[in-house]
Amino acid sequence: MTATVPEMPDMMSEEFARDPHKYYKIMRDHYPVVYHEASGYYFLSRFEDVANAYRDSEAFSNENYGFQMEPVIGRTVIQMGGREHVVHRQLVAPTLRGSYLQELIPQVDEIATQMIDEIEPGESVDLVEGFTRWFPINVIVRMLDLPKEDIPRFHDWYSSLMAFLGNLTQDPDIHAWGMRTQKEFPAYMLPLIAERRKNPGDDFISRLFDAEVDGEKYTDEQIKSLVGLLLIAGGETTDKAIASTLKHLLQRPDQLEAVKKDPSLATKALVENLRYHPPVQIILRTAVNDIEVSGTKIPAGSVIGLVNGAANRDERRYPDPDTFDIYRDDIPIKGAFGGSADHIAFALGRHFCVGSLLAKRESETAVTQLLEKFPNIRFADGYEPEDEGMFTRGPKDLLVNLT
């Protein structure tokens, strides 16, 4: 008797949005390459296919960022290739992975402590609105040495950037929101950068003035674009990583108790969350030439969605992939935040997220400090968390009892 092949739903449907992991499995097993007719994109779901696409930057380029991001924030390292990418990555890496990161860590911890101390205990406290949504943007504003009253403005900008980035349906309201940011963000940043050149300090922007590789230095326009990239890569994604890790621990009291007793396990919980439910579910690439993937021919110039959320639960790669397990031994902590990681959450290879170590520290300190401050934390009575988002995904709220 022949088994019936499940129907593949529209990736933009409500049923897909409610439970993408249900359909990710159908994709991996029966439709490893999905062509989405409305957008013209091809989506890859198997670990091997997704990993190969990340690692082969000659066959899969970042040209798509030319329409995904550049119209709003300008050209950045994320869309560069070849020598240009190498030079610009070397320019920014010391500020996000070097000595500056070590200087920043105490400030990250301080910001977390201040924000957590301001949380009012109660029977139904929303940790997304009350903490995770605002913590990463507070860190970024501190890095840029900007007034705290500008935090809501930066949050609006990075929210519009993320929406523009994932505007698969070309929603005109999202496009218009992005175009407003295209005007407002440079009008704010460029005069500020010019002033910092005259009076530099110890902030992220000032440190970029001295960065130089092979005689190349950052222009004001390039610094403005890089700050925009920092907002995208370091804002909503870290927010969702923290909220999702907390959610998954709260759903598993035994693992939650283990992290409370041994805070070093918070890193394991974070890494397992990056595998089990990566905050960035889909990253786009562009096919440089005609190529065949899992038996499907993809024409040159096609935009390809690499579905991290599906690849990270591929049975061909991980045993028992639908189980959240902080004791999993097939993803070593060492290397989990570098280009050779054994999970796909920050991409792989030469375009691996340069800010991953900052995200690691923010997430670790957020989880450990929250559990230390509120050891009796549990879900609010009758509450069931729900995730939202397609390109980035995480809890839309996180109602907890902190009494």
Which range of residues forms the domain containing residue 253?
A: 66-284+312-401
| Nearest in space to 219 (alpha carbons), one of 241, 194, 186 | 194
Burial class of residue 349 in the structure, from the number of CB atoms within 10 Å of its CB (0-12 exposed, 13-18 middle, 19+ buried) = middle
| Nearest in space to 204 (alpha carbons), one of 282, 306, 92 | 92
pLDDT at 377: 96
Instruction: Supply the CATH number for residue 136's domain.
Output: 1.10.630.10
- Buried/exposed code over 136-175 (b: 16+ C-beta within 10 A; e: otherwise): bbbbbbbbbebeeeebeebbebbbbbbbbbbbbeeeeebe
Edge-first strand order for the sheet with 125-126 is 125-126, 399-401, 378-379
Dihedral angle computed from the Cα positions of residues 247, 250, 255 and 261, in that order, rounded to the nearest 10 degrees: 110
pLDDT mean over 295-320: 94
E-strand ranges in 261-355 read 282-287, 291-293, 296-298, 303-307
Tell me the percentage of the chain whose pLDDT exceeds 90: 47
Q: What is the pLDDT of residues 204-240, one digit of tens each?
A: 888 888 877 677 788 898 888 888 877 777 777 889 9
Tell me the C-alpha distance between 148 and 142, whole Å: 8
With respect to residue 167, please indicate whether it lies within any of the assigned structural domains. yes
pLDDT mean over 270-286: 92
How many CB atoms neighbour CB 52 within 10 A? 17
With respect to residue 2, please indicate whether it lies within any of the assigned structural domains. no
pLDDT at residue 317 tops 70: yes
With respect to residue 22, please indicate whether it lies within any of the assigned structural domains. no
Q: What is the pLDDT of residues 2-20, one digit of tens each?
A: 568 888 878 888 888 899 9
Q: CA-based angle 364:402:246, to the nearest 5?
A: 30
The DSSP-derived string for 175-194 is HHHHHHHHHHHHHHHHHHHH
Burial class of residue 74 in the structure, from the number of CB atoms within 10 Å of its CB (0-12 exposed, 13-18 middle, 19+ buried) = middle
| Nearest in space to 99 (alpha carbons), one of 204, 241, 218 | 204
Q: What is the pLDDT of residues 157-207, one digit of tens each?
A: 878 877 887 776 778 888 888 888 888 888 999 999 999 999 998 888 888
pLDDT at 17: 87
pLDDT at 29: 94
Q: What is the pLDDT of residues 38-81, one digit of tens each?
A: 888 999 999 999 999 988 888 888 777 767 777 777 777 666 67
With respect to residue 334, please indicate whether it lies within any of the assigned structural domains. yes
pLDDT at residue 1 tops 60: no
pLDDT mean over 142-161: 86
pLDDT at residue 37 tops 90: no
pLDDT at residue 352 tops 70: no
- Buried/exposed code over 214-228 (b: 16+ C-beta within 10 A; e: otherwise): eeeebebebbbbbbb
Q: Which residues pair with 400 in a beta bridge?
A: 125, 379
With respect to residue 147, please indicate whether it lies within any of the assigned structural domains. yes
The phi, psi pair for 267, rounded to 5°, reads -65, -40
Total number of domains constituting the chain: 1
Say how far residue 257 (Cα) sits from the centre of its chain: 27
Tell me the C-alpha distance between 262 and 67, whole Å: 45
Burial class of residue 36 in the structure, from the number of CB atoms within 10 Å of its CB (0-12 exposed, 13-18 middle, 19+ buried) = middle
pLDDT at 121: 93
Say how far residue 210 (Cα) sits from the centre of its chain: 28
pLDDT at residue 85 tops 80: no
pLDDT at 241: 93
The owner of tokens 């890193």 is 267
* Distance in angstroms between the alpha carbons of the first and the last residue of the chain: 57
pLDDT at residue 267 tops 80: yes
pLDDT at residue 386 tops 70: yes
Mean pLDDT of the chain: 87
The DSSP-derived string for 332-349 is -STTTTSTT-SS-SS--G
E-strand ranges in 178-241 read 212-213, 216-217
Say how far residue 62 (Cα) sits from the centre of its chain: 17
Given a contact cutoff of 8 angstroms between Cβ atoms, the answer to whether 241 and 365 are in contact is no
Tokens of 199: 């009076």
